[in-house]
Amino acid sequence: MKKNMGTADRGIRVILAAVFAYLYFSGTVTGTVSYVLLAFAAVFVLTSLVGFCPLYPLLGINTCKTK
């Protein structure tokens, strides 16, 4: 897999994942929405660690600055 996520994109995803996890674990959001947010948080963390987002090639997006 070729990396297609830049540093800023990865940082934003980690911050969003932390916010989603906080909303879930604090009980601010409950029900089905809480499980969806937790799933998004997991996907955001995973894609940030790998540096590859599977949707980006489909949409023609590349935020990674490579030479």
6 is written with which tokens?
């830049």
Q: Helix or strand or coil: residue 54?
A: coil
Q: State the Cα–Cα distance between residues 63 and 54, nearest whole angstrom.
A: 13
pLDDT above 80 (res 6): yes
pLDDT above 90 (res 1): no
- Amino acid at position 45, single letter: V
pLDDT tens figures, 19-55: 999 999 999 999 999 999 999 999 999 999 999 999 9
CA torsion 13→63→61→15, rounded to 10°? Answer: 10
pTM (predicted TM-score) = 0.88
